[in-house]
Each structure stands twice: as structure tokens, then as C-alpha cells.
Chain A
């Protein structure tokens, strides 16, 4: 038997990642035939077979990081009936010393990503791309010989980046970085949605939305003191054993009620049929910030659910979203979307509508503020909200009336009682 060990394929490497096996157990191999591809920090190298023979055993897995000297594969030498002819890492090294190394180095500067291409761009333009965290290689240049110009980057940023940033204002830049690093790391495919893929989808969707829908955003503030107090009251009553209903569940309930009053915002614009289709289901999409990016699970029939049920359903879909386990049913059928960025901070945004829906509302940070009530200054908890709507379908006045009604319900939670199913 001959053990094929990982040897130093580059100067001073200590470990490498198995990226591909080029043979299977049972394969006949010739001397110098590449057996396995190893990725190190700098190079991707193929380990050649030191002997002719048969692959008896594969001792490493794809994605495994193995240290130099580890046996990766075991061969049975051709014609050797029984021998203990060990061919350690010495052999290729000797060859290497003779200048006949068969290690085929493929210098790969990046992890192999198939669609990258070298782009022309000045350093200044590259800096703009860098600062906006866009991959310049994905941008089509309009300059001389296809050079990417400053404007190309700005256009790209507008199309693909502003979208997620605005609607979930939620995405801390640092996280994106981590995600992008992770996507290039080896992971078992069952668990992973490639970073690029999700981002790309988000980008395409947001671009489409922004390019086809004339967005208008208006801002308002809502006094949430009473609803917070009510929640505290319920919490106290429930005792330690009971689960606490989130404020967001109240918001969703209030929205469902408000949407019934203003069905134009619970609609879909079918451009093909030239129809505004008012929906009779009140399915509220929740913009969720996950490691892979923005995703919008849907709480179905919010109008028919109690606040507790809404809360439970929200928790369920958010949990699945974080685990990336949402089913297609959880992701479709939305009629209106909410982006709750309050817990993360932010005082305003211009959220991008979840096409083909008609409107989207973002809830921002709640702050204690001095406000005037009955000619007296009192401290109240006030939350900002931003509502974007499709100006083709609805007008500003309707949107303002919508948020006024929503505020009315939130500011007087008892009024909501009257509307409960």
C-alpha cells in the first residue's frame, strides 16, 4: 500500500483544504495522474499519484482542512501483491528537488468564482465601489473600452444596494462582510444559500421595484406610550410563566384593521391586466434581517388572528427565517409589508415596496420625548414611521389618512378592541 500524504505544495504551507477528489475508490491510476485538488491560501494544487495502481481508500473529505503530512488517500501499487512499500511525501519532494515537480500549480487569486472578469476602472472609481461595498467586477462599464466610470458605480449602487439598505435599514455593513467571507468558505450545501445568490435576488427585486414603481414616502410619528403600558400590564398579569406579546404584534393587528379601512393599500397592481386587484386576504410580510440578507416571511390572515396568535406566528416565521428554513408558503402571498427596524435603531428611511404590493411601512426607534398633551408638556414614548406607497395606485392624502388611522388605533389600544374579530 502506498499512502499519499499532503506535502508542502508551496513555500512553507502547513495545511490545505481538499477541494476536489479527481479519482474514486477502485479507480486505476497512472503514475503522475492527478488524484486530488488542494486549495491553500495561495494556490490550488493537484497532488499527483506517486505510483501506478488502484485507489483503495480515500481518507479525507471535500472541504476538510488537512495538515501537511496527513494521509489523504491510499493506493495499491500496481503489480505489488503484498508489500509494505510506503511512499510517503518524500517522493514528490524529491522530484521537486530535481526540478521535475509534477505538482500542477494553478495560481488562483480568488476562490474560483466563475463569472468574475477583469474590469477596467481607475483607482478612484474602484474606491467608490469599495466604499459602497459593491463588487466592481459585476458592473458593466460605459467608458472607453468598457471602462467602469464613476457614474456606472453610482447607478449600480442605486439599483442594487439602496434597496436592502433602505427597506431593512437593518443591515449593518459589517455583517455583509462576514457573510461574504462565509460564502467563500466551505460549507455543506444543504444548509447554505450562497451569499451572492440571495444578495443578487434582493438586488434584482429591489431594482425592479424601484424602477417600476413611482415611490412616495411619507413620515409620521406615533405615540406608543399606551400600547407599551398595555403590554406591561399584560406581562405582569401573565406572570413569569406567560409569554410576552411583542409590541410588533399590536402593530400588525392595527395594520390589519387599518388595511380593511383602506383596502387600496392591501392591493396588487397587475400591470399586464391593467388592474388594481384589492386582496381579501390580509397577509402581512415581515422584512427580516438574516445573515444571508433580507427575506420577507408572511403572517397570513392577520385580520383573523388574535394579537397572541399574530405574536406566535411572527415568532415562528422569524425563527425559521433566521434558520433559513422558511417554506415557500411562508414566503408568498403577502399583501402588505412591514419593516420593523426600531429594535436596531434609525429614525427614518425610504423603504422600497415589495413588488407587486402597493405599500410598505417601516417602524423606527421609539424614543421618550417631551410632547404637548392638553397644553402640558409630558413625556411620551414616540415612534417614527415611514410609509412608502405606489403613487400610481394611491395618492398622498390616502396614505396620510392610512397612517392617521393606524396611529389612532395604536394610541388608543382600547379602540382596537372594537375592531377585533
Chain B
């Protein structure tokens, strides 16, 4: 097995890892193309496609009109006809006009045609609060898509996973919503191999091993949870197992069940509103698989059931390390 020491790596931010993943796949496969608003000359609103147009030309890095339904509809057509489009939504919160295309076509064509056609497309969408964006830009609506059979939902939390998961998503024969946590775009740098590699979809990861409580998060909340976990381990000796789910549909039931069966306690952290959130699916997995191992009710630290507020209140909306820590305390002292 190769280790990181054997491969050439670069220190990259998460958004640079995304660019690297796109470049890697575009070099390797002529059928991969990128389309979206300002992805070409401008290099994307977050510079995720920076420089790609010079490298691969306007035929493969396509600036589109400001029409999300059009971008997705075009991508679906391209995908059915042998391309592997990677569509960019500038913000996940802009995806609503395209929702109909995704729901009624992208996610269903395989079923509708009894697998005669499939839709190998990826929708990249920055999401999440904490960067002081205006209304709608910060939405974390993963649950709208996990509730839609036929589309995978992937959320990396670090640069290494971002590249590996993006490549796996582009290679996947079915539509994938690839959510990029905006707040983590440039806040973390880590070693990313130069070569092509994949991180398997549908598999969560153990960020830290622990015995007393399982903390389950994804996206930017992994970093938030990690702060809480480190603090409570250091100050109170509570041993936490932090899971990064990485794929929200399909969920990695095994990693959740095994961990909670081991620790007997769980705290779920997500920034989306609590009601109808993916946290509830995690709860249901715990209920189905690890109920008799629970030593305390599972706690959920989530956003509130409101639209994400303007920036003066944004930090109050988002789960903080302190809120996570409080919940960990609750479950270990129940």
C-alpha cells in the first residue's frame, strides 16, 4: 500500500483541491467538462475553476447564462449523450430553480429507462453559513437531496477528501450533488497527492478514535466538532470518537452503528435546520442498529428552524464548539 510518504503531495486548500480534482479528471478524460456561471474567464466565484479555461479551452469550460435550470438541464442532456458534465451552482442556495430538473429528470432517468440511460453528472455547489454572504447564499439544504432517491450527496470536510471524493463523484455513473463547505474553502490546508486517487463514496471516516461518545458531523461542522472534542478530551478526559460522514446519501450505516455500539452515546452536529435534517436519518440508524447500546438520549446540535440570518446573527445560528461541548457533557453525564 502506498502511503503519503511515497507520493508527491502539495499543500492545498479545500478549494484548490477541488480545482486539482477537476484538472486531474479533465486531463484524463475528454468527456469531462465544466459548465456554470462565471466558471470560465472569471475562474468561478470562489476561484474553483481558476485557470482551467486556459488549459482546456472554452469548449470544455463553459460560461453559461444565469439560468440554473438551464445549466442542469443541459448537463442532463450531455450526460445522457456520453459526456460527464460537472455543473457548478454558484451557491447551493441558487439551486432551487434547477430543483425541478434534478428531481424529475436527473435522479429518475435510470429508473425511468430501466437503466438504458444513466446520468453521470456532478453538481458542485458551495454551501453553508459563516462567510457573511447575503440571504439564500448560505443555505445548507442537503436534506432536500438526500430525500431524493437516485442522487448521491457528498460533502467533503478537508482538502484530501475533496479531491478524492470529487474524482469518485465524476467517475460515478449516477448524478452526484457535491457540496463544498464554503467556510472550509480556505481555512484548512493539507497534503493532497498530485496523482489521481479516489475516496469511496458512501463511506464515512473516523477523524478521531474514542470510547465515551460518538460525535457525528460533516462538512464544516467537522472542524467545529473537532474543536469541542479536543477541548473536552483535554479538560475533562472525555474520550470522543469523531465521525465525518463524507457522504450523506447513501449514509454509511456501519460506521455509525459500530461506533455508537462501542461508545453508547452520540451527538450529531449539523448546521442545517434541525427539523427534517439529515441528523434525523442518523438518529434513525442509531435507533435501528444500536438502540440497546445507548446510555443516554442522542443529542442533536443543529441550526435553528429559521432561514439563516444576516451576518450580525449568523454566528448565533451556527453550531459552535461550545454548543457541541455542552451536548457532549449532557450525554456523558446523563
Q: Is B295 an interface residue (CB 8 A)?
A: yes
**A78-121: which have CB < 8 Å to B?**
none
Main secondary structure of the interface of B (DSSP, over half): loop
Closest to A128 in B: B292
Interface bits B268-306 vs A (CB < 8 Å: 1, else 0):
000000000000000000000001111110000000000
Interface size in chain B (residues, C-beta < 8 A):
8
Residue A130 is within 8 A (CB to CB) of chain B in the complex: yes
B-contacting residues, A286-332, CB 8 Å: none
Q: How far is the CA of A130 from the CA of B292 in the complex (A)?
A: 10
Instruction: State A347–B104 Cα separation when bound (angstroms).
Output: 68
What is the total number of residues of chain A having a CB less than 8 Å from a CB of chain B? 7
Report A-chain residues with C-beta under 8 Å of the C-beta of B295. Answer: 122-125
- Report A257-282 CB contacts with B as 1/0, cut-off 8 Å: 00000000000000000000000000
Taking the closest CB of chain A, its distance from the CB of B299, in whole angstroms, is: 14
Residues of B contacting A124 with CB < 8 Å?
264, 292-295
In this assembly, does A77 line the interface, its C-beta being within 8 Å of a C-beta of chain B? no
Q: Find the A residue at minimum CB distance from B290.
A: A123
Q: A253 near B: Cβ within 8 Å?
A: no
State A125–B291 Cα separation when bound (angstroms): 11
Separation of A124 and B262 alpha carbons in the complex (Å): 11
| Contact bitstring A124-159, B, C-beta under 8 A = 1, else 0 | 111100100000000000000000000000000000
Closest residue to B296 on the A side, CB-wise?
A: A122
**Nearest CB in chain A to that of B287: its residue:** A123
In angstroms, Cα B334 to Cα A281, docked, is 57
Contacts of A125 in B (CB 8 A): 295
List B residues 290-334 near A (Cβ within 8 Å). Answer: 291-296, 334
> Nearest chain-A residue to B294 (Cβ)?
A123
Contacting residues, chain B, for A126 (C-beta < 8 A): 292
Report the separation of the CA atoms of residues A51 and B295 in the bound assembly, to the nearest whole angstrom. 55
Give the residues from 200 to 240 in chain B that come closer than 8 angstroms, CB to CB, to chain A: none
CB neighbours (8 Å) of A122 from chain B are: 294-296, 334
A122 and chain B: residue at smallest CB distance: B295
Q: Which residues of the other chain, B, contact A130 by a CB distance below 8 angstroms?
A: 292
* Most chain A beta-carbon contacts within 10 A, residue among B292, B293, B294, B295: B292
Q: Are A123 and B291 in contact (CB under 8 A)?
A: yes
A91 to B292, CA, bound (A): 47
List, in ascending order, chain A residues with CB within 8 A of B292's CB. Answer: 123-124, 126-127, 130
Q: CA A122 – CA B296 in complex, angstroms?
A: 6
- Report the bound CA distance from A130 to B291 in whole Å: 13
| Complex CA distance for A122 and B294, rounded to whole angstroms | 7
Chain B, residue nearest A125 (CB): B295
B289 smallest CB distance to A (angstroms): 12
Residues of chain A within 8 A of B293, CB atoms compared:
123-124, 127
Contacts of A127 in B (CB 8 A): 292-293
The minimal Cβ–Cβ distance linking A366 to chain B, given in whole angstroms, is 40
Complexed CA–CA distance, A124 and B334 (Å) = 12
Tell me the nearest residue of chain B to A147, going by C-beta: B334
Expressed in whole angstroms, the Cα–Cα distance for A122 and B260 within the complex equals 14
Residue of B nearest to A130 (CB): B292
Min C-beta distance of A384 to chain B, whole Å: 36
A124 to B293, CA, bound (A): 4
Q: Which residues of A contact B334 (CB under 8 A)?
A: 122
In Å, the complex CA distance between A124 and B294 comes to: 5
- Bound CA span A385–B264, Å: 41
Q: Which residue of A lies closest to B265 (CB)?
A: A124
Chain A 169-203 against B: per-residue CB contact (8 Å), 1 yes, 0 no? 00000000000000000000000000000000000
The smallest beta-carbon distance between A123 and chain B, in angstroms, is 4
Please name all residues of chain B whose beta carbon is closer than 8 Å to the beta carbon of A123 when the two chains form the complex.
291-295
* C-alpha gap A125/B292 in the complex (Å): 8
A121 to chain B, nearest CB (A): 10
Cα separation A122 to B293 with both chains bound (whole Å): 9
Q: Which residues of B contact A (CB under 8 A)?
A: 264, 291-296, 334
Sampled A-B contacts (10; CB under 8 Å): A122-B294, A122-B295, A122-B296, A123-B291, A123-B292, A123-B293, A123-B294, A124-B293, A127-B292, A127-B293
A interface residue numbers (CB < 8 A to B):
122-127, 130
Besides the known contacts A123-B291, A123-B293, A123-B294, 16 further A-B residue pairs in the complex with CB atoms under 8 A apart: A122-B294, A122-B295, A122-B296, A122-B334, A123-B292, A123-B295, A124-B264, A124-B292, A124-B293, A124-B294, A124-B295, A125-B295, A126-B292, A127-B292, A127-B293, A130-B292
Q: Which 3 A-B pairs have the closest CB atoms?
A: A127-B292, A124-B295, A123-B294
